Every structure is written in structure tokens, then in C-alpha cells.
Amino acid sequence: MQKLKQYKICRRLGTPIFEKCQTQKFTRTVSQKTGRPKNVSTYGLQLLEKQKTRFSYGIREGQLAKYVEESLAGSGSPVTNLFQKLELRLDNAVYRMGLAKTRRQARQEVSHGHFLVNGKKVRVASAHLKVGDTIAIRPASFPRGIFTNLDKRLKDYHLPPWLEFDINSLQGKVIGKPLNKEGILDLSAVLEFYSR
């Protein structure tokens, strides 16, 4: 049921934002859409980008609105601020380290208390990280099935440049601030949506 719901969201947004949609079948069905292309208004495009961002990071409407408000109030580029607020969430960092296959799984692992941040157990997936923070798998949680074959899974995994993870100590660290180089999401459109 969950897979069907995610597939419908991906089709509506026209982007494979969930891992379940990153298949050849999805690509074929999206490319085979027939009929006249819709003329989408500026508002419609901004709404689409907002929804893509929400579903990609698995956050609620209120959380995204709060991040936008804080990004606009902060110093520097609001787009960079928003990207860093989204990327420096604990669940996202766990996902980016390769300790979970999806952000949804990372959120569940965090809420079940499998991680320590700076030596303290944290169960809040939206906990904000800073440069220098350490993220470790709780020793009591490591024997669990979710972390089996972790060394094999991470063997060819490429961490983003702002994170590091040591498989021997089962500990990672935020070594820098994330930079929005991928450009998959148009965060400026998200900011414009909320600035109306």
C-alpha cells in the first residue's frame, strides 16, 4: 500500500523522489505520458518544487515553513541557508552516511534510539547538527539486524564531502557545511512560494 502511495506521488510530481520510483518502469510510464502538455503557472511550479522538497526530506508542511522563515531571517544566501537546514537534520545525516537505505528508514532508526550525538542518545529525527558534531551507532544497537553487513554496504559508498564515517569505531562526524552543488531541487522556488 505504501509503495503504491509513493508511486502516485512520484507520478504527480513527475520526479522519482522516492527510492521505490527509481526504476525503469517508472521512467517509461512518465516518458509515455500522452496528451497536450499543461501550461503550468509560476505559482504551480513553485508549489511543485515545494512538494518535491517536502517529500524528498520527509518533512511536514509546518517544518518546511519554519526552515524557510529561519533561512530568510539568517545572514547569507537564503537558498544556502535552507539547503543546510535540510541537510543538517540528524535523519538526513544518517541517510547520507549510508547507515540507512532511505531517509524514512533513517528517521525510524533515529526515533528508536540507535544513535548517539556527541555521546548522548537522541531520538529526534529533526535534531539540527553543527560542524564538529559526532554521530555514533549505539553499541547496544550494533548487533541488531539493521546494521548487519555494514562494512560491505559501505565499502563502495561515497560520502558527501561534509561528512566522514569510520567503520572501525562506528562513528561519523560533520566536518563541514553542505553545499548545494547537485541542484536537484529548486530551493529558490520554494522560498518564493513562501514569500508570496
What the chain holds in terms of domains, given with CATH numbers, is 40-88+182-196 (1.10.1050.10), 90-174 (3.10.290.10)
Q: What average pLDDT score do residues 100-116 get?
A: 93
The partner residues of 89 in beta bridges, in order of sequence, read 128
Q: Are 18 and 55 in contact (CB under 8 A)?
A: yes
Note the pTM of the prediction, 2 decimals. Answer: 0.83
In this predicted model, what pLDDT tens digit does every residue of 123-135 receive, in sequence order?
Answer: 999 999 999 999 9
What are the pLDDT digits (tens) for 3-19?
A: 567 767 777 676 766 66
**Which H or E run includes 156?**
none
